[in-house]
Structure 1
Amino acid sequence: MTLVVAAGSASELFARACHAVLSGGQPVAPRDVPTLEVLGASLTLTDPRRRLVDVPPARVINPAFAVAEAMWIVSGSDDPWIYLYNERLADYADDGRLMGAYGPRMRRWHGTTDQLALAREALTDDPETRRAVIQLYDPAADARGYKDVPCTLGYRFFLRDGLLHMHTTMRSQDLWLGFCYDIFTATILQELLAGWLGTGLGSYRLSVDSLHLYAHDVPKARQIPADADPGPQMTPLAIPWQTLDDVLAQVIAGTALAGPGLAEFACVLASYRARKDGDLAGAGAIAASHDGPLATALRRWYQRADRARHIAEEPSR
């Protein structure tokens, strides 16, 4: 039986999915790693601008990595600068490169095809098309034994009644870790494409073959409340198609930009880089310069990290 869950916000969707996997999941251990798994899940987010999973104190994600990964993917990059925001990604690299990186597959499939551009063109030419598809899984590459194999098979987009709906299919989804960042990136892509088409935002639907919690995350998942706070909508995003790559490069560099949504993205990335350079006061000042939901979440994440470090540094008694 397929698990069907819907919610207005990513936090609520995450919480309901956690409880569903905890109550109905079955133990399996692919690659000898124990998990609790539901085979066949359909998760629907009805308000894609409520894309930030934020369920404190049980689940607090790093908003700087969420933004960095989204910009990394949409820009078509597989460059190693992403490791600055998440060092653990390097563990999945072959010769320093993440071979399953989504960005190159989406923006320059086999070095030649910008699938994002093709999806935009298909929907522009025929608004009711069923052919706006972005394919990410590549059997020619993904059967070679690389450490990093895409969990996402592909994206599809449908324009109906003036709203752009997005469907994602995944062979596998780590609910505790991967879901929180994947839904953030995917709905940014959905919103940007809706802007290029001049449409409203419809629903975001995620179909997952194996939705699972790793055994070591199960105790933490049990701390998630059944009814999570939906949290605020993210600030609207808009980037002209003609300047997409230039604007993304500016965001990644932390350059101040017009438009509150992009300015907040740049602020969050610049703040995190300052913190990684050891400038805690500067990082805090940059994060405090913006009052949007991501900057607010980043300040809270810093506070949590500082408390954890303080506890770790306390002498044992």
Structure 2
Amino acid sequence: MQSTTFHSVHEAWRGILQQIKSVGECVPGTVDALSVGSAFGEQARDYVELLGASITVEAPRDRLVNSEARSISPAFLLANVIYAMSGSDDLSRIIHYNSRGTPFSDDGATLPNALGKRLCGLDTIDQFSACRSLLERDPSSRRAVVSLYSPDDAGSPSRDCPCLLHLHFLKRGDTLSCVVGVRSQSAAMLFPYDAFLVSMLQESMAVSLDAELGPLIFHFGSLHYYVDEEALVDLVLSESLPYPACMPPMKQAASDVLTELISAEEAIRTHGTLPAGLALDDYWRVYLKALRAAAQSRDSSLTPVDVEQSCFSYLF
């Protein structure tokens, strides 16, 4: 299948949903009791699928989507980036924002194959930092690959099987591109979150290398939505909502201010406040204010005044 190019993540999301609807093939649902595709053994869910699809997002900073039919949780969207960059597999830290992570845990305490754990939390190596160091030494390297799927995953008895296979960072001239290998992509429900996370990782890497943000390229093994989501897909495709604003350029790489970001997220999660004296620029201050407002709005009707003028305001 030929690759399709889109300007923004919003356009890419609508585009892949339309492609699946137009030319996808219906596949009988998996019966694997370890898979969310069978509701963990309760019910096989047939799905409509494209095999081997590829897309390119030309402007990954334009990473937000807008939909009333498929509402996006701003709290989870924003917190998940910090959670991944922290290298954690602690279930409690992320289910505060998204309780749907609970069934993927085997022990009720951890997500054994959490993306962040493999990205930068392994005992043997911080893959994200290693890729940065490699590209600093050799900007033309083709070896800057973060492996997110291990040989053990194919036969693992875990419910938590990585959907992303790898992140391949390629610096050409002054531009950093990222090629993402995806085992299985839930197009309707998860693509907006996955694209946001990966594009933030890409931009953090680009900033740390003093590079411009280049294209974000996805190669999907299985790109699909479930048959029981088809009505939702039709609603999303019928919407005529304004495109969300593009996020501003990142100035401080997330990896360079990670201690502050982790501290701030913990304070928001546990106390609903932001710590004073954080060594962060306006980009990350607005980001954290949006996270705080989103976390508050989950339990109250507080108006997120401090993000009214930001690119995140439409999410509330």
TM-score range, shorter chain: 0.7 to 0.9
After superposition, where does 1:171-210 map in structure 2 within 5 Å? Answer: 171-210=183-222
* Aligned match for 2:281, one of 259, 267, 272: 259
Work out the CA distance in 2 between the residues paired with 1:57 and 1:178: 15
Residues 44-76 of structure 1 show CA distances to partners (whole Å, capped at 9, x for unaligned) of 11001111121x333331122111111111111
Give how far 1:297 is off.
Answer: 2.8
Work out the CA distance in 2 between the residues paired with 1:25 and 1:215: 11
Counterpart check, 1:293 vs 2:314: no
Map of 2:30 onto structure 1:
30
Q: Is the 8 A contact 1:163 1:201 kept in 2?
A: yes
Map of 2:247 onto structure 1:
234
Q: Is the 8 A contact 2:169 2:178 kept in 1?
A: yes
Structure with the largest fraction of helix: 1
Work out the CA distance in 2 between the residues paired with 1:71 and 1:215: 33
Give the count of matched residue pairs.
290
Counterpart check, 1:128 vs 2:130: no
In the superposition, the TM-score normalised over structure 1's length comes to: 0.86
Residues 148-188 of structure 1 show CA distances to partners (whole Å, capped at 9, x for unaligned) of 10011110011112110000001110001111100000000
In the superposition, the TM-score normalised over structure 2's length comes to: 0.86
Counterpart check, 1:115 vs 2:133: no
Map of 1:306 onto structure 2:
none
Q: Say which is worse superposed, 192-201 or 243-252, in terms of deviation.
A: 243-252
- SS at structure 1 position matched to 2:257: helix
Give how far 1:271 is off.
Answer: 2.0
After superposition, where does 1:269-280 map in structure 2 within 5 Å? Answer: 269-276=291-298, 278-280=299-301
Residue identity matched to 2:282: P
Q: Percent identity?
A: 29
Map of 2:77 onto structure 1:
66
Distance 1:241 1:93, change over 3 A: closer
Residue identity matched to 2:25: Q
Work out the CA distance in 2 between the residues paired with 1:19 and 1:240: 35
Question: Structure 2: which 5+ residue stretches go unaligned?
Answer: 32-43, 269-273
Question: Structure 1: which 5+ residue stretches go unaligned?
Answer: 300-317
Q: Is the 8 A contact 1:9 1:51 kept in 2?
A: yes
Q: Is the 8 A contact 1:167 1:205 kept in 2?
A: yes
Q: Is the 8 A contact 1:6 1:43 kept in 2?
A: yes
After superposition, where does 1:134-153 map in structure 2 within 5 Å? Answer: 134-141=146-153, 143-153=155-165
Residue identity matched to 1:293: C
Counterpart check, 1:4 vs 2:3: yes
Map of 1:100 onto structure 2:
113
Give how far 1:298 is off.
Answer: 3.1
